A and B are shown apart, each in its own frame.
Chain A
Amino acid sequence: MSRTLAVWIAFVVISVGTYLFRASFLIAADRGTKVPERWRTPLRMIPPAVLAALVAPALLRPAQVFDPFGPRALAGLVALVVALVTRNILATIVVGLAAAVGFELLLG
């Protein structure tokens, strides 16, 4: 199987699965079922955990070497502060990229 075909199959599986999640309570909306209380907390923990798992190595181990004070890590820290303060996606990305270039020049 070619990689492109495999990738498209992956896209379809992701899309169908996501659609089913989205439709889950809407299909039976006229019956009014609810998410059990016990599942709410773990569901809420998923986005922070997954996103942090994706971000951390890119910031702290760029090029496979642990570099907690390197240009990427520092730029990431700057971006985090901007994100917390402005809650603005564009600002976070632009400032973060500028910081990455800047720190690279200063420290690289």
Chain B
Amino acid sequence: MSGQDEPRRDQRSPIREFGAGAAAMAPILVGIVPLGLIGGVATVEAGLGIAEAMGFSALAFAGAAQLAALDLMARDTSLPVVVMTALVINVRVVMYSASIAPHLAHLPRRRRLAASYMLVDQVYAISIVRFTRDAEIDRWRFFVGAAVPMLMVWVSTTGLGVLVGDAVPDAVPLAFALPLAFIALLVPTVTDRPGVVAALTAAVVATVAAPLPANLGMPLAATAGILAGWIAAARRETV
């Protein structure tokens, strides 16, 4: 019978429970390292330094949004557009918040506010899977155990990336690693046909509208993509 050889909740040591979160996060951290290094390189491309790289990571703790913001800054996009883009990319975390809230509702408010800072894609993903599967674990400890290593790796690799950029030979177009990272991040977010429609529409509009000043083509393309995907999903339902 499952659960029978697990220690009872009050017998589990805190270390083990934090450790369970960290263990679940460990394989994911391997994939975070290249993203962080690229983030560091992107920071340099944007004309900024190690303080900005690590500061941004510690403040925002948001992978794709940071990379996007840095990419736009390197392309001389106006800061309001940079901020709007990063926020729009992050709006989806509202869904994470809604989804995980029932599982953390028992926590005192202070801990819920602290958990909010750590509600990053990967932390959310492994936590929600574990929480729905296992009713016995201490959720706060698992969550923190997963989030803290992630934060440490993210901040340190983005800092390291600022230094690493110089070490790579010129023949390797390191700046191209950023669009490649976006491709790697993009694929798992496309889960259905409307998602494909959204991505293709945005790609076409972005390419056509690229000559527009102040990088306006990008938010224009994103909006077009979101609307196209939304319409595609709505049409599917009415068929």
Contacts and interface: CB of A to CB of B under 8 A. Distances in A.
A18 B93 CA distance: 8
B183 A76 contact: yes
Contact of B225 (A4, A13, A53, A80): A53
Given A17-B83, A100-B176, A101-B172, 9 more contacts: A6-B79, A15-B60, A17-B86, A22-B96, A51-B64, A51-B89, A51-B189, A55-B179, A89-B31
A52 B218 CA distance: 9
Contact of B113 (A23, A61, A66, A93): A23
B85 interface: yes
A21 to B, nearest CB: 5
A25 to B, nearest CB: 4
Q: How large is the interface on A (under 10, 10 to 19, 20 to 34, 35 or more residues)?
A: 35 or more
Nearest 7 CB-CB pairings of A with B: A49-B225, A45-B229, A23-B116, A56-B203, A53-B221, A47-B189, A15-B59
A12 B73 CA distance: 15
Interface string B85-106: 1111111111111101110110
Contacts, number: 286
A26 B94 contact: no
B210 A61 contact: yes
Contacts of A30: 105
Given A48-B186, A50-B222, A89-B31, A40 B198 contact: no
Given A26-B97, A96-B180, A48 B195 contact: yes
Contacts of A45: 194-195, 198, 225-226, 229-230, 233
B112 A27 contact: yes
Contacts of B201: 49
Contact of B179 (A7, A48, A76): A76
